[in-house]
């Protein structure tokens, strides 16, 4: 039985079907970018990244903060949605939108802010696309009384003023990226003064800003340690499904960098529960179908060490789909490996299909999915169609879309 919030995080690495290729320094480098991580990330976060153990105790202060932001989040059955799509499958969803910032991102922000504070750091810097991760870092920083600086991809900075306002309400300093504040930002503006920015570039800006200003950088996805911090989602969901007397057959999550998917699905994979695991990405950013599995940089400036992952290349400029959180060139190394090994199925759905699915979910269940999460909803519809009656499908509703209703405007008319 799991206590709420869980007492331990789960790390999938010891349970993978093949070794996870370790992070690597660039082949021709004089200095070590792995070593540079010491200056970039809080020490305890790095220790968690590199000390591979299946279970890691969650400090009480973090469990308290998890409880304060509403953990455990609800696990609900989507009965009216089942009826709306005419399926005999039973559909459950974990509702990460029921946190103050409206997404799962707070689960990984809280430990990083806590460990930064513990080592005497005065603030965190980070990047954000749609603003979900930035808002989470802003809130987590305010919980532990440290500062936060957020580089927000310019497209979203302009399109999503409400999320920017939310971050500022929590006390964050928010800059549009590319910005004049950092070298990678100035270089991008030098190439094109109207550059729209990307998550990878904003990441590079946030890292450089942290290095130059004695702050630590909070990493929002992709790295194993982030997926591990997110495991509270799946650990709770597993216990909650047990309480419903259900054993899920199909588990589904959307993928930007892989953190909500890994957080939700890995605890099930680790305990051998489930027959199909489906990772959903956007058709417009085809990293599953067209990405190659190779060592690449997580950030576009190449400050971080190389990791082996499915990637479209760090130079890749993602098209401006509404789901800002999915506009990223790579996939977390552990998830890339699980896809390669055939444990996790990858699926791609278009923005149009995602929006239609999200709208149907909103109309039937009342909860408006975040544009990212709507991709998972679309995959649920596809999976339900293929499933035998009585199949149990569980998916992660990674966030709500109440601050981005625009995406539904066209389709609901």
Partner 1 sequence: MMCAMLIAYLTVGYPTPEAFLEAAKRIGPYVSAYEIGFPPRFAKYDGPVIRRSYMSIKGSLDEHMALASSVNGTKFALTYYEDIRERPEAFISKAASSGFAGCLFPDAVIDYHLEAEKVFSMVNDAGLKNAIFVSPSVPDALISKVSRWADAFLYLGVRPTTGVPVPVSVEALVKRIKKLYSGPLIVGFGLKDEEIKDAIGAGADGIAVGTAIIKALEAGPEKAEEEVKRIARIAGN
Contact in structure between 12 and 266 (CB atoms under 8 Å)? yes
Q: Which does 18 bind (CB under 5 to 8 A by kind): ligand PLP, partner 1, none?
A: partner 1
Of residues 121 and 288, the one with the C-beta less far from ligand PLP: 288
Q: Which does 61 bind (CB under 5 to 8 A by kind): ligand PLP, partner 1, none?
A: none
State how far the alpha carbon of 250 is from the alpha carbons of 237, 253, 289, in Å. Answer: 13, 10, 21
Q: Please give the helix or strand (H or E) that residue 279 lies within, else none.
A: strand 276-282
Which 8-state DSSP code applies to residue 58? P
Residues 126-145 that bind ligand PLP (CB under 6 A): 129-130, 132-133
Q: Which does 298 bind (CB under 5 to 8 A by kind): partner 1, ligand PLP, none?
A: none
Q: Which does 330 bind (CB under 5 to 8 A by kind): partner 1, ligand PLP, none?
A: none
Closest alpha carbon to 341 in 274, 277, 405:
277
Among 33, 126, 221, 300, binds ligand PLP (CB under 6 A): 221
Question: What is the b/e burial string over 227-242, where b = at least 16 CB atoms within 10 angstroms of the residue's CB?
Answer: bbbbbbbbbbbbbbbe
Residue 122 beta carbon to ligand PLP: minimum distance, rounded to whole angstroms? 25
Question: Tokens 């270089």 sit at which residue?
Answer: 187
Q: Name the H helices within 119-198.
A: 132-144, 154-159, 161-169, 183-191
Q: For residue 7, give both structure tokens.
A: 């007492």
Which residues of the chain form contacts with partner 1 (CB under 8 A)? Answer: 13-25, 27, 29-32, 34-35, 37-38, 43-44, 46-47, 49-54, 305
Q: Which does 20 bind (CB under 5 to 8 A by kind): partner 1, ligand PLP, none?
A: partner 1
Mark 372-411 with x for binding to ligand PLP (rule: CB under 6 A) and - for no binding: xx------------------------xx------------
Contact in structure between 331 and 257 (CB atoms under 8 Å)? yes
**234 in contact with ligand PLP (CB under 6 A):** no
Residue 99 beta carbon to ligand PLP: minimum distance, rounded to whole angstroms? 10
Which 8-state DSSP code applies to residue 398? -
Question: What is the b/e burial string over 244-260, where b = at least 16 CB atoms within 10 angstroms of the residue's CB?
Answer: eeeebbbbbbbbbbbbb
Of residues 40 and 226, the one with the C-beta less far from ligand PLP: 226
Q: Which does 31 bind (CB under 5 to 8 A by kind): partner 1, ligand PLP, none?
A: partner 1
Residues near ligand PLP, by CB under 6 A = 103, 105, 129-130, 132-133, 221, 254-261, 325-326, 370, 372-373, 398-399
């Amino acid at each position: 039985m799991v206590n709420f919030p869980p007492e331990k995080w789960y790390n999938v690495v010891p349970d993978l079907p093949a070794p996870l290729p370790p992070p690597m320094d660039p082949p021709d480098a004089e200095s070590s970018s792995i070593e540079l991580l010491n200056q970039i990330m809080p020490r305890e976060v790095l220790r968690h990244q590199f000390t591979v153990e299946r279970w890691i105790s969650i400090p009480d202060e973090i469990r308290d903060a998890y409880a304060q932001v509403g953990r455990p989040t609800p696990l609900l059955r989507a009965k009216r949605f089942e009826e709306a799509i005419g399926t005999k499958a039973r559909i459950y969803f974990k509702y990460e939108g029921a946190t103050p910032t409206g997404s799962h991102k707070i689960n990984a922000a809280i430990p990083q802010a806590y460990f930064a504070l513990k080592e005497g750091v005065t603030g965190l810097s980070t990047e954000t696309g749609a603003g979900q991760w930035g808002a989470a870092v802003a809130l987590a920083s305010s919980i532990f009384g440290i500062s936060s600086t957020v580089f927000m991809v310019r497209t979203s900075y302009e399109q999503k003023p409400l999320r920017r306002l939310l971050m500022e309400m929590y006390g964050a300093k928010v800059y549009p990226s590319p910005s004049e504040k950092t070298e990678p930002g100035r270089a991008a503006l030098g190439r094109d003064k109207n550059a729209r920015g990307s998550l990878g570039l904003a990441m590079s800006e946030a890292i450089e800003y942290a290095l130059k200003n004695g702050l630590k950088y909070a990493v929002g996805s992709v790295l194993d340690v982030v997926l591990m911090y997110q495991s509270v989602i799946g650990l709770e969901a597993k216990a909650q499904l047990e309480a419903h007397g259900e054993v899920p057959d199909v588990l589904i999550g959307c993928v930007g960098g892989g953190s909500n998917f890994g957080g939700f699905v890995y605890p099930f994979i680790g305990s051998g529960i489930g027959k199909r695991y489906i990772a959903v990405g956007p058709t417009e950013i085809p990293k599953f179908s067209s990405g190659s599995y190779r060592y690449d940089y997580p950030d576009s400036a190449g400050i971080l060490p190389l990791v082996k992952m499915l990637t479209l290349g760090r130079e890749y400029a993602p098209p401006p789909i509404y789901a800002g959180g999915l506009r990223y060139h790579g996939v977390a190394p552990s998830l890339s490996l699980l896809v390669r090994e055939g444990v996790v199925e990858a699926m791609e759905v278009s923005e149009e299909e995602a929006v239609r699915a999200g709208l149907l979910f909103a109309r039937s269940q009342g909860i408006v999915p975040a544009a990212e999460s709507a991709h998972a909803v679309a995959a649920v519809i596809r999976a339900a169609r293929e499933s035998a009656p009585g199949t149990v499908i569980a998916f992660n509703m990674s966030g709500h879309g109440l601050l981005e209703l625009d995406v539904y405007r066209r389709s609901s008319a």
